[in-house]
Amino acid sequence: MDKNTSRILQELANAADEAKSAVHSAAAAMGEKYDSVKAGLEMNRLEIRQEAVFSDIGRVLFLIHTGKIKDTMETDEGPRSPQQVIDELLIGAEQIQQEIDAAQARMQENRPGRYCTKCGREVGEDDVYCAACGAKLAEK
């Protein structure tokens, strides 16, 4: 093999190694983005579930206030007092909040920096409010 052919083959091998490295880096970056999007979707799903529970609590309180519920309410588990229904809904909301807190902790474990605890967006070190959702940020 002549020198030119050998040099060309070596350059091709080097280019292939660089391309392989770039593909691995891109795959790692895509994996991180995928994990971030997946965590964001999970947070959104949990927040929607929690808002539905809050809505149910408000509905029960309104029905009590208007006198449409007095003694018992029919639920999937059978008749319950309005207070029992509200207590069960509050317990459900707290369980969902614990899931939200755990999901936020998982999100932040994999990302250095400071993030909004409400929406998960990255915020500046000196920010007091999240620019994305307006939530007051936890103190440093």
Backbone angles phi, psi at 75, to 5 degrees: -125, 175
Cβ neighbours for 81, distance < 8 A, ≥ 6 positions apart: 71, 72, 73
Could you report the per-residue pLDDT of 52-94, keeping only the tens digit for each? 999 999 999 999 999 998 888 888 889 999 999 999 999 999 9
Place 111 in a pLDDT band, splitting at 50, 70 and 90.
low
The residue with greater pLDDT, 2 or 51, is 51
Q: Which two tokens stand for residue 46?
A: 């949990």
Cβ neighbours for 27, distance < 8 A, ≥ 6 positions apart: none
Rounded to whole angstroms, how far apart are CA atoms 58 and 42?
A: 24
User: What is residue 63's predicted lDDT score, i.e. its pLDDT?
Assistant: 92
Overall pTM surpassing 0.85 (yes/no):
no
